[in-house]
Structure 1
């Protein structure tokens, strides 16, 4: 029998629907933040009986309230922190090495965007910040960890409907002419499109062993929106209006809670009915 999902479904509801996909399983959550969609998703997995949740972040002390909260509620879940700074590809290489030394098989991987609509800057690796922190760091991590992903495991990367607003990437100039031709929402949209293309490539390359999905949680307020300024949004929308383009779908959607947004992410991670799909 098919399960029913709607805009009121919450993450914990999804883990209840598929207990055999959660209980005693090991999950890797990259990009955990306090009071955010990633933390809500981790809580739902713990609620469902996950055995181990490996989580990455810049600082364990910043995430300690999240861990303490989960440990109080779900005392049998093992929480393992691994340092990984999306602004440093070297940090993600080290994180992959650390995870491999744990000797575990990963049943599910979820990656969350790190930034949205930030001012133009290059990372220490010389890459535009959205492109590296939202996409390239996960491209690297997943390629380094593919041999410890369990058979029939899942990969879910969180994206946004703003991917539709991204022009075809200029692979020659991902830095927007060194920032001269840059708008913060264009940078974000480009990184979202890169995620979609990457997910499609994973799904095709590892078909039969790893299923891969992108998940759009909808109009959910998350910590990546910290830097979003309304004047930036207004200027971006004005430019689209002058070009005769439609208002982005994301800005037409009704707001969703973090728990509701996590349901979409967790369905991609757990729902067996998606097994035959190449990607979403």
Structure 2
């Protein structure tokens, strides 16, 4: 029984990966349309020092945005800024430290940002990790759940009033949550969000990515009900050749390299969907959708479960110490 509970999710996840690779084999990567200038708008991109996050931050800065790269690697952050500035950058770019696995750090980051009195027009919740051995954060949460989902849940809620004040009808603020095709095989265990009963690194990762989609849809519903000028969307970059795969076993790493070179997207290609969600005119006022390769796509059946959305939201508020709005 225990073996089945581990093998079935793993088989589903690998099946998802094969489907994505087959799609990418026969379909070109999404090409961004001409995007409107973003002068005067402010964006926060988590995990923006490398990979998809770096490419997202770079593209938004080239459009004229003031981009705050939020990450936990100070040296990488310092190195990322001049690299972006060299790229015909029309906007401003800076680095700010935040450890998304620490609720205290997330609160400090949000408070520091709010104290500056800046508006916030785009929040790209991009940072993530995958395939880690079982680890726990200082707050007692499983690492994938904390970094990929819970830290972003708290950050978004802490900055939500700023997003609301910064948006206006016809020029909404936008929340962009980075999910993954693995969410199709994900299961949210409300009685075991820490995946402690039967730990699987892939299962924990898939759960965190499904949680992000559930969160996106519930947030959008609340924003629309309140008439607030903010939208929330989930995006899927496909399989991208980034450091996210650095935690693979050495044999798997060796097997992955030739495949990734041919079939994986580049970080810039992967970032195109988050940039599109953050800045495209076609996405003005559009929220509550799952975007993949430039198109709105049906996410998993589980992600549309309104009761599960509400239950996860309530539980997440309890875990991070927020009053449920």
Alignment of 1:175-186 (within 5 A): 175-176=194-195, 178=196, 180-186=197-203
Residues 228 and 173 (structure 1 numbering): CA distance in 2 closer, same or farther, change over 3 Å? same
Q: Is 2:28 the partner of 1:7?
A: yes
Which residue of 2 is the match for residue 196 of structure 1?
Answer: 213
Alignment of 1:231-246 (within 5 A): none
Residues 81 and 124 (structure 1 numbering): CA distance in 2 closer, same or farther, change over 3 Å? same
Which residue of 1 is the match for residue 146 of structure 2?
Answer: 132
Q: Is 2:80 the partner of 1:60?
A: no
1:132 match: secondary structure: helix
The unaligned stretches of length 5 or more in structure 1 are 1-5, 234-250
- TM-score, normalised to structure 2, is 0.71
State the Cα distance separating 1:76 from its structure 2 match: 4.9
State the Cα distance separating 1:231 from its structure 2 match: 6.8
Structure with the bigger RCO (C-alpha within 8 Å, sep 6+) is 1
State the Cα distance separating 1:206 from its structure 2 match: 1.1
- TM-score, normalised to structure 1, is 0.81
Residues 148 and 277 (structure 1 numbering): CA distance in 2 closer, same or farther, change over 3 Å? closer
**Distance in 1 between residues matched to 2:126 and 2:46, nearest whole Å:** 6
Which residue of 1 is the match for residue 234 of structure 2?
Answer: 214
1:212 match: secondary structure: strand
Which residue of 1 is the match for residue 271 of structure 2?
Answer: 262
State the Cα distance separating 1:139 from its structure 2 match: 0.5
- The answer to whether the 8 A contact 1:54-1:79 is kept is yes
Which residue of 1 is the match for residue 192 of structure 2?
Answer: 173
**Distance in 2 between residues matched to 1:158 and 1:278, nearest whole Å:** 13
State the Cα distance separating 1:113 from its structure 2 match: 3.4
Find the partner of 1:142 among 156, 171, 178: 156
- The answer to whether the 8 A contact 1:33-1:223 is kept is no
Structure 1 window deviating more from structure 2 (72-81 vs 265-274): it is: 72-81
**Distance in 2 between residues matched to 1:269 and 1:43, nearest whole Å:** 13
The count of residues paired between Structure 1 and Structure 2 equals 247
**Distance in 2 between residues matched to 1:204 and 1:254, nearest whole Å:** 36
Find the partner of 1:81 among 95, 114, 119: 95
Structure 1 window deviating more from structure 2 (72-81 vs 186-195): it is: 72-81
Q: How far does the alpha carbon of each residue in 1:200-222 deviate from its partner, in whole angstroms, 9 at most, with x for none?
A: 11111112411111110011122
State the Cα distance separating 1:83 from its structure 2 match: 1.2
More helix per residue? 2
**Distance in 2 between residues matched to 1:276 and 1:62, nearest whole Å:** 34
Q: Is 2:38 the partner of 1:29?
A: no
RMSD of Structure 2 on Structure 1 (CA): 2.2
State the Cα distance separating 1:62 from its structure 2 match: 2.2
**Distance in 2 between residues matched to 1:77 and 1:42, nearest whole Å:** 10
- The answer to whether the 8 A contact 1:7-1:260 is kept is no
Q: How far does the alpha carbon of each residue in 1:136-195 deviate from its partner, in whole angstroms, 9 at most, with x for none?
A: 00100110111111211001011100001112x22111222x3x5111100100000000
The unaligned stretches of length 5 or more in structure 2 are 1-26, 254-259, 291-325
1:220 match: secondary structure: coil
Q: Is 2:174 the partner of 1:154?
A: yes
Which residue of 2 is the match for residue 100 of structure 1?
Answer: 114
State the Cα distance separating 1:24 from its structure 2 match: 2.6
- The answer to whether the 8 A contact 1:159-1:195 is kept is yes
